[in-house]
Amino acid sequence: MKSKIKIDNTFAEAFNMKASRILVTADNLKWAKHAAISLTGFATSVIACGVEAGIECKLSRKISPDGRDGYSILLFSMSRSALEKQLETRVGQCILTCPTTAVFSGMEGHDMIPLGKNLRYFGDGHQISKKIGQKRFWRIPVMDGEFLCEESTGRVPAIGGGNIIILAQDRVSCLKACETAIESIDNQPNVITPFPGGVVRSGSKVGSKYKSLIASTNDEFCPTLRNVVKSKLSKNVGCVMEIVINGLTRDDIEIAMRTAIKAISKNKISAKIDTISAGNYGGKLGQHKFYLKRILK
């Protein structure tokens, strides 16, 4: 790849996770989006949110399970139990409550986790089971009619924490580069960028001077601390932002990282981008290493 942007000789360190996909539909796209946004709220990092979730893509009526508008959503967590709990809670509070919605499994797997299996009890004995082929659905009476929910969905191994870090001259150019990168992978299957708008400004390191914290600000990349800590920033860098990518497979994350970096390099904003780097913990914590220069070959 030909680019004036410096690519650090480093790697993004990522972790084994568990993932599931659900499909949310509604009478129209407006209400499907309300449900999807609500479900994926407060789902940026498992450090505090329990799950990392995001909208994978929009569903056309041609491929939607019930011929209605909808969205595909991916959820990632560190354990089966955490994923199961978060899925039940979020679907119950954010999809069941949203007018006209229905929810379906978005993947099969050897390990199936509850979707409507537990939510059916909200029907207070009036819920109805319907089996179509090998799949079971639940019809739960609600005040606008019925809430249709598939009984279970698949859980598969996945990877969380692929990332790129953009070092720019100023905040305007850094944010523009991030937006360009996010737009380039917006409809890529099997990946999400869980932070707000796909971008995180509060990159973290492991540990803190305060014993109660397991993570704290990544001071090596903070411009205001350049003269206080052992900084990784040159004097030309005025702003740093990070894009975190979760994917179902290693290939999914590599494709997304490569696409994002190339999109930045081809945009005119690249003239104000000093370096593209990645976040890691010295390879001591995560099970996966995504070397930037290898990915770009």
Give pLDDT, residue 110.
Answer: 87
Helix axes 171-184, 250-266, angle to 10 degrees: 130
CATH classification (class only), 18-156: alpha beta
Angle 186-290-260 (CA atoms, 0-180°, nearest 5)?
Answer: 25
**Percentage with pLDDT > 90 across the chain:** 95
Provide the pLDDT for residue 228: 95
Structure tokens at 143: 């005040």
Picking from 108, 26, 99, 36, the residue whose alpha carbon sits closest to that of residue 72 is: 36
Strand partners, 102: 25
| 185-204: average pLDDT | 96
Confidence tier at 185 by pLDDT (50, 70, 90): very high
| pLDDT band at residue 109 under the 50/70/90 scheme | confident
How large is the average pLDDT for residues 145-150? 98
Helix (H, G, I), strand (E, B) or coil at 209: coil
Instruction: Give 248-275 pLDDT, tens digit per residue.
Output: 999 999 999 999 999 999 999 999 999 9
Over 50: is that where the pLDDT of 8 sits? yes
Fold of 6-13+158-296: Alpha-Beta Plaits (3.30.70)
Q: What is the mean pLDDT of residues 136-158?
A: 98
Q: Given this model, what pLDDT does residue 111 score?
A: 93
Q: Nearest to residue 21, comparing CAs of 41, 33, 36?
A: 36
Q: Has residue 3 got a pLDDT over 70? A: no
Return the pLDDT at 162: 98
Q: What are the C-alpha distances in Å from 25 to residues 35, 95, 106, 154?
A: 9, 9, 12, 18
Mean of per-residue pLDDT scores for the chain: 96
Under the banding of pLDDT at 50, 70 and 90, the label for residue 83 is very high
Is the pLDDT at 141 greater than 80? The verdict is: yes
Hey, what's the torsion of the CAs at 241, 246, 250, 252, to 10 degrees? Answer: -90
pLDDT in tens, 44-68: 999 999 999 999 999 999 999 999 9
Domain-by-domain residue ranges, the chain?
6-13+158-296, 18-156
Percent pLDDT > 70 in the chain is 99
pLDDT in tens, 198-223: 999 999 999 999 999 999 999 999 99
The whole-number pLDDT of residue 1 equals 43
Structure tokens at 98: 């949203």
Q: Give the residue-averaged pLDDT of 152-175.
A: 98
Q: Note whether 6-13+158-296 and 18-156 share their fold.
A: yes
Q: Write down the residue that tokens 């809670």 correspond to.
A: 89
Q: Is the pLDDT of residue 281 over 60?
A: yes
Q: Are the C-beta atoms of residues 158 and 76 closer than 8 Å to each other?
A: yes
CB 238 within 8 A of CB 223: yes
Is the pLDDT score of 2 beyond 70? Answer: no
> 234-250, pLDDT tens digit by residue?
999 999 999 999 999 99
- Letter for the amino acid at 31? W
The model's pTM: 0.95
Q: Token digits for 53?
A: 């979730």
